[in-house]
Amino acid sequence: MSSALPLRHMLLAIAVVAVWGTNFVVIKLALAQLPPLLLATLRFTFAAVPAVFFLKRPAVPWRNLAAYGVLIGAGQFGLLFIAMNGHISPGMAALVIQTQVFFTIGMAMRSAGERVQPVQWVALLLSAAGLVTIATHTDGSTTPLGLAIILVAAFCWASGNMASRRAGRVDMVAYVVWASLFSVPPLLVLSLLIEGPARIAASLAHADAVAWGAVIWQAVGNTLFGYAAWGWLLARHPAATVTPMALLVPVFGMAASLWWLGEPLPGWKLTAAALVLGGLALNLLWPRLRAAWSSRPPA
C-alpha cells in the first residue's frame, strides 16, 4: 500500500468528503417536505433496492447485518433527521456528529483492554470544550435538545462501527446495502406510529422533484458512491493516510450551509469548530506523529 495519496486519489477522497459534508444541506432541503422518519425510511429503501438484487450478501451472520442496519438506520440517521428537523442547523450537525470518533475509539480500547493515553485525554478535552461552547450559545437554530440527540446519534454510529468491525474485511458497499434491509422496518414502524399514515400519505403526494432528488442523492451519492470510493481508497492506502480526510466533512458541511442556506457563522461557531476539529485531528494524527518522532535518528 502507498503511504501518500496520488493527486487523482486525493481528488477522489475530497469528492467523497464533499458529498458527505454537503449532504447535510440536502437533508435539510428534504425535511422541508418529508417528515424525518419517513425520509430515513426512503433513504434506506433506495439504498437497498435495487442494489440488493445485484450484490452478493457478505459472508457475515444475519445478526451482524441486523445490528448494523438498526444502529445506523434507526439510531444514527433516524435521530440525525429528527434533530435536524428544527433542533440543530446543518452546519452544527455536520460538526457534532463527528464526535463518533471518540465513541468509536473508546469502545475499541475498552474491548481491547487498552488504557486511554494522556494525549487522547487532551484531544477529548479540546472537543468537549467545543461542545460546551455550542451548548452555551444555543439559539433558535441549535438547541440543547438538538445537541443531545446528535450526541446519541454519534454514539449509535460508533456502535454501528463496532458491528462492522466485527464483520471483518468485507465488501462494504454490499454490507451497507444488505444491512439497509434491516434499517427499513424499524424506521417504517416508527414513522407510522409517530408521524402517522395521514401525514405520510400527504407528504408523499406533495413531494416534488427536489425532495425525491434529495432522497436519491442520499441513497446513491452519499451511500453507494461514498462507501464504494472510500473502500476503494482504503484498499490501496493505509487507513492512517485516508481516514484523516474525513475531518473535511464538517468543513464542507458548514461551508455548504453558509452558502446555500445562509447559516450564520459567528465567532463562537468558528471557535467551537476549531476546538472540536482540533481534538479530532489530534486523536487521529497523534499515532503517526509519535511513530515519526520515534523513528528519528538520535541527534
Helix H, strand E, coil C: the string for the chain is CCCCCCHHHHHHHHHHHHHHHHHHHHHHHHHCCCCHHHHHHHHHHHHHCCHHHCCCCCCCCHHHHHHHHHHHHHHHHHHHHHHHCCCCCHHHHHHHHHHHHHHHHHHHHHHHCCCCCHHHHHHHHHHHHHHHHHHCCCCCCCCHHHHHHHHHHHHHHHHHHHHHHHHCCCCHHHHHHHHHHHHHHHHHHHHHHHHCHHHHHHHHHHCCHHHHHHHHHHHHHHHHHHHHHHHHHHCCCCHHHHHHHHHHHHHHHHHHHHHHHCCCCCHHHHHHHHHHHHHHHHHHHHHHHHHHHHCCCCC
| Mean pLDDT value of segment 130-146 | 80
Instruction: Locate 193 and state its grid cell.
Output: 406510529
Interatomic CA distance for residues 81 and 97, integer angstroms:
12
Interatomic CA distance for residues 212 and 137, integer angstroms:
34
Residue 288: what pLDDT?
Answer: 64
Residue 27: what pLDDT?
Answer: 95
| Mean pLDDT value of segment 92-114 | 81
| Chain mean position to CA 253 | 11
- 49-58, 143-152, 188-197, 238-247: segment of lowest average pLDDT: 238-247
pLDDT score of 143 more than 80:
yes
Nearest residue to 159 via CA among 83, 75, 96: 75
Nearest residue to 71 via CA among 173, 189, 163, 194: 163
- 176-180, 205-209, 239-243: segment of lowest average pLDDT: 239-243
Residue 172: what pLDDT?
Answer: 86
Residue 273: what pLDDT?
Answer: 84
pTM assigned to the model? 0.86
Phi, psi angles (nearest 5°) of residue 208: -100, -170
pLDDT per residue as tens digits for the range 48-94: 999 999 999 999 999 999 999 999 999 999 999 999 998 998 988 98
pLDDT score of 3 more than 70:
no
Residue 114: what pLDDT?
Answer: 66
Residue 296: what pLDDT?
Answer: 59
Cell 467523497, residue located: 16
Cβ–Cβ under 8 Å, residues 27 and 39: yes
Burial class (CB in 10 A: 0-12, 13-18, 19+), 6: exposed
pLDDT score of 108 more than 80:
no
